[in-house]
Structure 1
Amino acid sequence: MNVSLATSCRWRDATLQDLVFFQRGYDITKAQQHSGNIPVISSSGITSFHNEAKAQGPGVVIGRKGTLGSVHYSAQDYWPHDTTLWSRDLRGNIPRFVYYFLHTIDFKRFDVGNSNPTLNRNHIHALPIKVPPLDVQESIASILCAYDDLIENNRRRMALLEEAARQLYREWFVRLRFPGHEHTRIIDGLPEGWERKSFNEVCQTVGGGTPSTTKSEYWDDGDIIWVTPTDITRNPCLALLDSEKKITEAGLKHSSAKMLPPNTIMMTSRASVGFFGLIDKAACTNQGFISVVPNEPFSQMYLLHNLMHRVDEIRSHAGGATYKEISKSKFKALPVVMPSLSLLRDFGEQTAELLRQIRTLHTMNVRLNQARDILLPRLMSGEIAV
């Protein structure tokens, strides 16, 4: 008998409720919450924090309504929201194993909602499954945790690198403690050599568009990166690697989408206003963007951080009844202080290097996620012996 078969023979027939017994979460509004460090976990993950827990950690939570079937893990005590089902009883199983095992189940096929996806625990508790002994559970959880630990470590490094760039911007251009500031005269409220301009004077602003969705030739087998606001808001850092959807040359030609040079500053301008991303390839966007192409390439990182620092101001200029949007004309009229060329170059070089490191870490995380997701079902089926 081969090793993997011998290992799988140790897995016993069971039902899902033998692995974990779920209970519906507890309703709580934002107004009812008080400042604390207890995570409130909804179907989309941690949405806020409260000062009271309803469940003891470690625990597992799955989306019951809304983001149906999403799986979340909490090492600490938590408040499972009404939109979730939470692990009232893990039946003595390894919590992390249960968390990973649940990723192998397509909960969406048990949707009983009409307009809003809904999951009923009574429809999943009787699911037939195979459960390994605790030593195998521990081994599987340890292998998969190693991937997640690397991913989390990289995520923290990316956050620190982005914060370092933001702090450098504040130090040089907000607090005015830039290199050589001690010997720089202030003239009309600005350091000597700095200028007041508008965005219309320092960059080109480019919009986007969406090809007709009824024309398959605009989408099928497309290889042109076409960025939507969702690509930006779901991205964990400034460095965007790809887009979820692609369009064809015909789609580009027959829409308002325009090709942008690599590392263009993409700023969401509609609904979710003021989110940013840069991709190191030529790309285009839908109409939910104002993309910024600096007239001077070395001012790119400065303009990016200037905009990020002024998000609240940018959003205050957005109008609209159905959804907020900042127009190109209002954006181009916004004032911007431009530092000396030498400072722009120095800042650009330092922060571009930080962005390069962020992109490398983000690429590594994508590959780690892919490797883990390939490994997970093979471990959970007993195909790979541990």
Structure 2
Amino acid sequence: MKLAACQRFHPDTAPDGWTIEPIRNRLWLEYGSSLTDDERRTGEYPVFGSNGQVGTHDTYLVQAPGILVGRKGSVGEIHFSEKPFWPIDTVYYVKRLGEDNWRFLFYMLGYLSLGQLNAATGVPGLTRRDAHFIFGAFPKNGEQTEIATVLKMADEAILAAEAKLTAAKRVKTALMQQLFTRGIPGRHRDFVHTKWFSAPASWSSRQLRQISKIESGFTMGRDLSGHETAEVAYLTVVNVLEGAFDLANIAQVIVKQTELDGLLLRDGDILMTEGGDRDKVGRGGLWHGQIQPCVYQNHIFRVRLAPGTYKPELFHFLLQTWHAKNYFYSHAKQTSNLCTINSREVKRFPLFEPSEDEQDEMIALLSASDDQVRAVEGEIAVLHRLKRSLLQNLLTGKVRVKLPETP
């Protein structure tokens, strides 16, 4: 990709009353200054690196407001500071050359996708030589202010929704802690405590292997010549999230027809990853038959719980608890690059099984809490789509804001 291909604007396409010109006519990217961990003294002023705030210091280098642009590492990342700050040597800070609105410049620089310049030039990091020649689109100051106000409102709505999501997740975490260690409130008086779990004394204690069939999935690359085959969807570790599945990109695989029945996923199966990164050990959830037919990778465990025992809908939430994660992390094998757990340790996973009625009540409460989390996540996704639309339309002049009337 050439530098010209990174340009979002061309001087011949300027909206009425706007100027399209190299950003060096409006601002200059200045180098930050090194400030090692040993040199930092905790204070009120933020210290910024290329990926955002990395600490605080008791003095500042640049007066507020300020814009920072990632130079190394998170190349082209844009950050805004409302307080005086210290930019370290992995970032540029913006020196404004005129009277452009600071917030408008912040949004404009973000829209320009300066990170593409890293790939365009082949030089690691973002160079001023290239960045300064990127074209920006600049309306008059009054319109800049109105555009920045609208976009800031969108950012504030996203922040408010993210705070609501944090609160909803905390409620869900607290509810899981209560239900899986104390049961339905007010129902139990006696409790047992083990190395891995605490639970009501009336719940049945057993290992996962006693009430389920646990199997790993399909290994690709086998010789299939001479066999009748079928092509089916193939679920891999990257598709398995915590309590959910990302099914946007599903691979296809060819398997022996004779093996297909034993490999197919069913509604009600629990899927767990054997590992990779530490946070992937034991990660998974309840499969609802979203894709059929579908088989699964050999790095995924399929847990098929026996009817009339621990309900898959409840086990789905159990996997998300700190207690379950602690068991899997503690039994995983760590190498230089991988953290994995074997089927033997999964089979030994200790369970305390509530009565069927109590399981149903727990599932209802946890599902309602989970629905609230999903609803807020959906709200955030809508707000991000709205902001992307606003950026595209307002910063290009496709949609013009109405300026306040002059008295």
1:70 equivalenced with 2:77 (yes/no): yes
In structure 2, relative to structure 1, the CA distance for the partners of 1:177 and 1:261 (3 Å cut) is closer
1:326-362 residue CA offsets vs partner (Å, 9 max, x unmatched) = 2233233232333343333222211211211221222
In structure 2, relative to structure 1, the CA distance for the partners of 1:345 and 1:265 (3 Å cut) is farther
State the partner residue of 2:11.
none
Answer yes or no: is the 8 Å Cα contact 1:273–1:325 preserved in 2.
Answer: no
State the partner residue of 1:184.
189
| Alignment counterpart, residue 159 of structure 1, candidates 163, 166, 186 | 166
Answer yes or no: is the 8 Å Cα contact 2:269–2:305 preserved in 1.
Answer: no
Structure 2: how far apart are the matches of 1:257 and 1:80?
Answer: 54
Answer yes or no: is the 8 Å Cα contact 1:60–1:72 preserved in 2.
Answer: yes
Q: CA deviation at 1:119?
A: 0.8
- Taking structure 1 as the reference length, the TM-score comes to 0.74
Answer yes or no: is the 8 Å Cα contact 1:38–1:51 preserved in 2.
Answer: yes
1:30-56 residue CA offsets vs partner (Å, 9 max, x unmatched) = 67666667655443445x433445544
Structure 1: how far apart are the matches of 2:219 and 2:64?
Answer: 45
Q: CA deviation at 1:226?
A: 5.2
Alignment of 1:151-230 (within 5 A): 151-174=158-181, 176=182, 178-181=184-187, 184-186=189-191, 191-201=200-210, 228-229=237-238
1:200-255 residue CA offsets vs partner (Å, 9 max, x unmatched) = 3455556567978xxxxxxxxx99695654984xxxxx675745533246599999
Answer yes or no: is the 8 Å Cα contact 1:225–1:243 preserved in 2.
Answer: no
Q: CA deviation at 1:268?
A: 7.0
In structure 2, relative to structure 1, the CA distance for the partners of 1:188 and 1:39 (3 Å cut) is closer
Matched length: 364
Answer yes or no: is the 8 Å Cα contact 2:101–2:144 preserved in 1.
Answer: yes
Structure 1: how far apart are the matches of 2:47 and 2:253?
Answer: 45
Q: Which amino acid aligns with 1:352?
A: S
In structure 2, relative to structure 1, the CA distance for the partners of 1:230 and 1:26 (3 Å cut) is farther
1:316 equivalenced with 2:321 (yes/no): no
| Alignment counterpart, residue 383 of structure 1, candidates 392, 398, 405 | 398
Q: Where does the alignment leave 5 or more consecutive residues of structure 1 unmatched? A: 1-6, 213-221, 233-237
Secondary structure at the counterpart of residue 66 of structure 1? coil
Answer yes or no: is the 8 Å Cα contact 2:45–2:86 preserved in 1.
Answer: yes
| Alignment counterpart, residue 276 of structure 2, candidates 270, 275, 279 | 270
| Alignment counterpart, residue 282 of structure 1, candidates 287, 290, 299 | 290
Give the percent of matched residue pairs that are identical in Structure 1 and Structure 2: 20
| Alignment counterpart, residue 50 of structure 1, candidates 50, 56, 72 | 56
Secondary structure at the counterpart of residue 136 of structure 2? strand
Q: CA deviation at 1:303?
A: 1.3
In structure 2, relative to structure 1, the CA distance for the partners of 1:58 and 1:186 (3 Å cut) is same
Structure 2: how far apart are the matches of 1:83 and 1:261?
Answer: 50
Answer yes or no: is the 8 Å Cα contact 2:208–2:347 preserved in 1.
Answer: yes
Structure 1: how far apart are the matches of 2:34 and 2:296?
Answer: 39
Q: Which moved more, 1:258-267 or 1:196-205?
A: 258-267
